[in-house]
Structure 1
Amino acid sequence: MSKISKKSLIASSIVGAMALAGSNFASAASLNELQNGEAAIIKASANSQKKINGIYEQTQELLAEYRTVVDETENLKVYNDHVQRLVNDQQAGIDSLERQIGTIEETKKGVVPLMYKMIESLEQFIELDIPVNLKDRTERLERLKDVMSRQGISVAEQFRLVLEAYEIETDYGSMFSAYQGDLEFEGTNITVDFVHMGRTVLVAQSLDLKNAWIWDHSNREWKALEDEYLSPITKAIRMARKQTAPDLVKLPVYAAGAGE
């Protein structure tokens, strides 16, 4: 067996040590590469997760917007249906008004002649009635005639005024009132105080309280009264004007044939 020299052993040791050192260096380099690769993977994974999170958030926002749009669409549909019902109702109202207008025009043709007849009848009634507030009643009648010939006044307003005049005439039948006016007696106009109880009694008294008259409806003229009626008539005038408390008062009633 050949002997190995000491130099050979030393050289072998050096070579072995260098080989081991080279092997360790290679292992360290591989580890660094692995670590760097792992870090890159982690970083890439984190970036991917960020992108995924961003996409998810965008998806949620889009989903929320979609739901909002769906809700708004449903609300808009409900509102449109509501508006359509209103439009339909308005159209029905318009159609009804158009039919009524046609009917009104036909009604006017009958109402206008009726009003003229009513005014004519009212004029005849005032002429035949006792002359209570004759001046006011005559002026009211003339205003009615004027209203009927004026433009810009609706048929409804004209008819209302005619009915109002009839109501006033009706009220005279139950009214207890006093007013001042002129009385014609034996060709002389005299300023007097009138007092009437409905259409039953109409008497007058001079302002100096010295003379009194009663309306004779049968002969349609004024008749002088005796002095005994002066005080009761004065009291009745004050009562009608609410200047004294209501009380029993004796007033004359002109009966047919009383002057014969």
Structure 2
Amino acid sequence: MLRYQAVLISRASHQAGLLGNRMMSVYPIYIQGELLMKPIYRGLSCAGALLLAAALAGATTLDEIESVQAERAEAGRQSQNRINDIVDETNALQDEYSQVLKVVEDLKVFNTLMERQIDAQEADIAQLNDSIDEVEASRRQMTPLMVRMIEALDLFVEADAPFLLTERRKRVATLYDLLPREDVSVAEKFRKVLEAYQIENEYGRTIEAYKDSVEHEGALLEVDVLRIGRISLVYQTADLSATRMWDRDAKAWVDLEGPYRNQVRQGLRVANKLVAPDLLLLPVAAPEAQ
């Protein structure tokens, strides 16, 4: 039994590298007697203890190494995860930076376009300001011009043949009332003046018949008036008892002879569109020789 144990110890010692030749020299002494084995037995016990301690120490060291390696692996994994996160964040920032650069470039193009538009608008504003100055100067000149035009129209109506006098005088009075009003623009005032001139101008190219009241020798007569442009103005009573023509030179109504009575009556029918236009024979004041 001791030999078997010695052999086991010897092998263990050889494997552990702790007993060496010392254990191998003890082995032959075992054959000579039991007493000589005691030292060998004690030596084997010490060797076993050393082997056990070495084995425990080796196991502890291995666990520590494995633990350290595991910690290092975990630290490496965490480091790699942090690196991956940093790379992802860097890529995201790079993409965002690229987008920002594109936006900046787009804004540069937009700003350039806006600057051109602003320059053009400033030029337009300057031109408008010049135009406004010209308009203001024109306004200062327009008011005296309109005053002269209205006064001239007033004189013309009073000097002209007395047709539609109430209507024409009212139109002139409206222009006088319009002139000082601040709520009406100069352009609108001037338009009204030109409109009045246009109406007066149209009277010279039209034929018209209308009813009116005419004073003659202190009596107020209800008559039918026939106006043919501005070359002839006549009237006729409803009972055909009076037919008269406006004499520009005399500034009065003068009687027409019998042959013109039917011509005036026919002219009234034409003006009222009761018959087709026809040739009329009416007296016309001859222009004076210069």
| TM-score band, normalised by shorter chain | 0.7 to 0.9
Tell me, yes or no, if the aligned pair for 1:209 and 1:234 is still in contact at 8 Å.
Answer: no
TM-score (norm 2): 0.67
Distance in 1, Cα, partners of 2:238 & 2:56:
149
Checking the alignment, whether the CA contact within 8 Å between 1:203 and 1:212 is kept in structure 2 is yes
Q: CA deviation at 1:28?
A: 7.3
**Higher relative contact order, chain-length normalized (CA < 8 Å, sep 6+):** 1
1:236 aligns with 2:265: no
The CA deviation at 1:147 is 2.3
Unaligned 5+ residue runs, structure 1? 1-5
The equivalent residue for 1:249 is 278
Instruction: Check the 8 A contact 2:212/2:224 in 1, yes or no.
Output: yes
Contact in 1 for aligned 2:224/2:236 (Cα 8 Å): yes
Give the distance between the partners of 1:78 and 1:118, measured in 2 at CA. Answer: 57
Cα deviation, residue 104, structure 1: 3.6
* Counterparts in 2 of 1:125 and 1:94: CA distance versus 1, 3 Å: same
SS in 2 for 1:254: coil
Q: Aligned partners of 1:197, 1:12: CA distance in 2, in Å? A: 164
| CA distance in 1 between partners of 2:4 and 2:280 (Å) | 172
Which residues of 2 match residues 98-117 of structure 1 at below 5 A?
98-117=129-148
- 1:175-194 equivalences under 5 Å are 175-194=206-225
Q: How does 1:17-36 map to 2 (within 5 A)?
A: 18-19=12-13, 36=67
Change (3 A) 1:157 1:199: same
How many Å apart are 1:172 and its aligned residue? 1.1
Following superposition, the deviation at residue 51 of structure 1 comes to: 0.9
- Structure-2 change in CA distance of 1:25 and 1:200 (3 Å): same
134-143 vs 218-227, greater mean Cα deviation: 218-227
Identity %: 33
Q: Distance in 2 between matches of 1:169 and 1:98?
A: 37
Amino acid at match of 1:188: A
- 2:6 matched residue in structure 1: 12
Equivalent-residue separation in structure 1 for 2:170 and 2:240 (angstroms): 29
- What SS is found at the alignment partner of 1:144? helix
3-state SS of the aligned residue for 2:234?
A: strand
Partner secondary structure for residue 248 of structure 1: coil
Aligned to 1:3: none
The CA deviation string for residues 80-135 of structure 1, in whole angstroms up to 9 with x for no partner, is 44444444444434433443444344434443333232223222322332233222
1:143 aligns with 2:177: no
Q: Alpha carbons of 1:66 and 1:200: their partners in 2 closer, same or farther (altered >3 Å)?
A: same
Q: Which residue of 1 aligns with 2:157?
A: 126
Moved more, 137-146 or 177-186: 177-186
**How many Å apart are 1:173 and its aligned residue?**
1.4
CA distance in 2, matches of 1:210, 1:14: 175
Deviation at 1:252, TM superposition (A): 4.2
Q: Report the secondary structure of 2:213's partner residue.
A: strand
Q: Distance in 2 between matches of 1:93 and 1:57?
A: 53
How far off its partner does 1:25 sit? 8.1
Larger radius of gyration: 2
Instruction: Spell out the pairing of 1:220-235 with structure 2 (5 A cutoff).
Output: 220-224=251-255, 226=258, 227-229=261-263, 231-235=265-269
Give the drift of 1:253.
2.1
Deviation (angstroms), 1:55: 0.5
C-alpha distance 231-113 of structure 1, shift in aligned 2 (>3 A): closer
Number of the residue aligned with 2:93: 62
Unaligned runs of 5+ residues in structure 2 are 16-50
Alignment partners' CA distance in 1, 2:240 and 2:271: 11
Aligned CA-pair RMSD: 3.5
Alignment partner of 2:245: what SS? strand
- Cα distance in 2 between the residues matched to 1:152 and 1:105: 17
Return the letter of the residue paired with 1:72. V
1:27 deviation in Å? Answer: 7.8
Distance in 1 between residues matched to 2:72 and 2:9, nearest whole Å: 39
